[in-house]
Amino acid sequence: MKDSKKHIRRFLLCCLFVSLFILFVEGIDKRFTVKARGGMDILFAVLWLCMEAEAVWRIRRITAKEGFAEYIKFNKGEFVYLLLSCITLILSFAAPDLAWGRWIILLKMPNILRRYNDENVFQTIAKIIAVFLIAFFIIPFLNVLANAISAPGQIINITPKKIDWFAMHYVVTDKAFLRSFGISVFVTVVGTAISVLSMAMAAYPLSKPDMPLKKTMMMFFMIVMLFSGGIAPNILVVNALGLMDTVWALIFPSVVMVYYLLLLKGFYESIPLELEESAKLDGASNMQVLFKIVIPMAAPMIATVSFFTAITYWNNINNSILYISTNRDIYPVPMYIKNFLGQNPMEIAMNNPTLLTYWDGIKRSYVLMSIVPIACVYPLIFKYLKNDISAGAVKG
Amino acid sequence: MKKAKNGKVSLRRQIKQNGNLFLFYIPAVVFAVLFSYVPMLGLVMAFKENPNLLGSPSAIQGILDADWVGLENFKKIFSRPEFLHALRNTHETHERQ
């Protein structure tokens, strides 16, 4: 008895997913031949009849046992589906324009899924969604990769054809690009160091329970997060400080990122106060308590925040657009790529015809190279990211 | 520990105990003031005429010298027909289709 029920459940689930898949495919692709469409319609009708037969059987069984009112109480969706489905099925054969009416199959869905009242179904559905999401992000990446390393003049989806390293070789030996790469690395490393250090220091007094003027300081930082002076005043200030056209203009304006400051504060609050107090009893100064005890305890959160800060610095193109006007030697990577892509292809064709042939590949190679450093750092930091991204959030 | 009348530790006592911790704010506060609060002063531009940038020694001087016009600039923005469109587009992107 139990076994047959299980088989019926599985069969129903298959019916549901296959028919949903058919609906989906028909919906997004209009180019099917009439024959294929007819075949799919018939398959759909068969699946649907199976589900209807099951629904009718359920009605009979429950009505016989507990009465019709009891059935309606819990299965309104299924009943509506049963009534409407006859009409829509006939309509979809008679008038193909009304085929969208078949989406009422969704009414049946909760009924089928509810019978799988266990973790496995949830896990399976979550995994399917995850696979779709991963594909969504990895396919464009594969396309870029394939374009970068294959010979020009072909249509390329996600697999490279006729591998040709010219574009990659050009990018790796491009001196100006390598210099901008170095600038970017410098900005990222120094900027992350300054930013994380100042944020880790500022978050410590904010996390103390009996710190005077704590609310005022919180307000001070919240205002930084919420409001800004706009583009023109920022440029004026950077200019007045004499930072225009220097590397420091890429670093200083985005040192304080209040969101990460709050993350750090939340994590500090979860560190037991007794540790600090016992260190104080042994004669440690505030500086020593912070750097010898609190920051090592908060290492996971520090690592996470550093990673995010580094990504922000690496991808930051705003600062270079606003604060670097003439000095091309200190373009960071995003700005260099933007500048390179903005060139007129005809001019390049005059100077160097081979370059124009490989134009697409070279563009993709630049993009690919700009991913490399973050991709290198990610595995190192991954073990921290896995657990502790929300660890400080509970205390808020 | 000495307590004030309302049961909390008094402010002076708190400052005495944790005063050194204010030093930790310094780097973040310096950067925040320089690159967020000082530019916010530039918002006075909203209440002034267009600065005559070419005729003044520096841009900041030009802004300071410009005449006050009150809410005139806001009036100009709000009376443009594009403003309503933009507001609506921001509110719900598919409104106009």
ipTM value of the model? 0.79
Pick from B35, B38, B45, B50 the residue to mutate for testing the A interface (most A CBs within 10 Å).
B35
- Please answer yes or no on whether A205 and B22 come within 8 Å at the CB atom: yes
A268 to chain B, closest Cα gap in Å: 14
* Per-residue pLDDT reduced to its tens digit, A230-252: 898 999 999 999 998 999 999 99
| Residue B15 contacts A where some CB pair is shorter than 8 Å | yes
Select the residue of A230, A237, A285 nearest B38 (Cβ to Cβ). Answer: A237
- Please answer yes or no on whether B42 and A230 come within 8 Å at the CB atom: yes
A99 to chain B, closest Cα gap in Å: 25
How many Å apart are CA A198 and CA A252, to the nearest integer?
12
How many Å apart are CA A396 and CA A258, to the nearest integer?
13
Select the residue of A202, A210, A290 nearest B28 (Cβ to Cβ). Answer: A202
- Report the range out of A27-36, A355-364, B48-57 with the highest average pLDDT: A355-364
| Residue B39 contacts A where some CB pair is shorter than 8 Å | yes
**Model pTM score:** 0.74
Search chain B and give the residue with CA nearest A238: B35
Mean pLDDT, rounded, of chain A: 84
pLDDT more than 90, % of chain B: 21
Confirm if A190 and A251 have CB atoms less than 8 A apart.
yes
Taking residues A15-25, report their average pLDDT.
82
Residues of chain B neighbouring A221 (CB-CB closer than 8 A): 28, 32
pLDDT beyond 60 at B2: no
* Per-residue pLDDT reduced to its tens digit, A257-279: 999 999 999 999 988 888 888 88
Mean pLDDT, rounded, of chain B: 80
- Please answer yes or no on whether A208 and B21 come within 8 Å at the CB atom: yes
* Per-residue pLDDT reduced to its tens digit, A208-218: 888 888 899 99
- Please answer yes or no on whether B27 and A198 come within 8 Å at the CB atom: yes
Q: How many CB pairs under 8 A join A and B?
A: 106
* Per-residue pLDDT reduced to its tens digit, A53-98: 888 888 888 888 887 777 777 777 778 878 887 787 777 777 766 6
Select the residue of A212, A224, A236 nearest B32 (Cβ to Cβ). Answer: A224
Q: How confident is the model at residue B1 (pLDDT cuts 50, 70, 90)?
A: very low
pLDDT beyond 70 at B4: no
Residues of chain A neighbouring B27 (CB-CB closer than 8 A): 194, 197-198, 201-202
| Residue B20 contacts A where some CB pair is shorter than 8 Å | yes
How many Å apart are CA A275 and CA A266, to the nearest integer?
17
pLDDT beyond 90 at A389: no
Q: What is the dihedral of CA A22, A26, A29, A33, to 10 degrees?
A: 110
Residue closest to A96 by CA, chosen among A30, A143, A151: A30
Search chain B and give the residue with CA nearest A210: B14
pLDDT beyond 90 at A309: yes
Q: How confident is the model at residue B95 (pLDDT cuts 50, 70, 90)?
A: very low
A207 to chain B, closest Cα gap in Å: 11
A217 to chain B, closest Cα gap in Å: 9
B94 to chain A, closest Cα gap in Å: 21
